[in-house]
Structure 1
């Protein structure tokens, strides 16, 4: 539990749906931060794919 983010626990399916439908509570990040985050997520997806991450 120490490795979890308290702010991420605040995100609920209902809050996510509201954000998508009503364009409320958007999060804006710098382009360089977004690029690094995107790369991390892409690597996680590759590892999860059969034969990925090898």
Structure 2
């Protein structure tokens, strides 16, 4: 009984940082993708400006 309680407690302690890390990584990836898309659109706009001016 005590060992079982300890296991669940340990699992909860272990699961919390893991979920936080995964949330952080997910947020970082989403921000990175958004930044990439933003930069890509900027580059496309710049290229479009240069090609249209010719």
TM range (shorter): 0.3 to 0.5
| TM-score of the aligned structures, taking structure 2 as reference length | 0.37
| TM-score of the aligned structures, taking structure 1 as reference length | 0.37
Q: Comparing both chains, which one has the higher relative contact order based on Cα–Cα distances under 8 Å and sequence gaps of 6 or more?
A: 1
Larger radius of gyration: 2
Query: Which structure is higher in helix share?
Result: 2
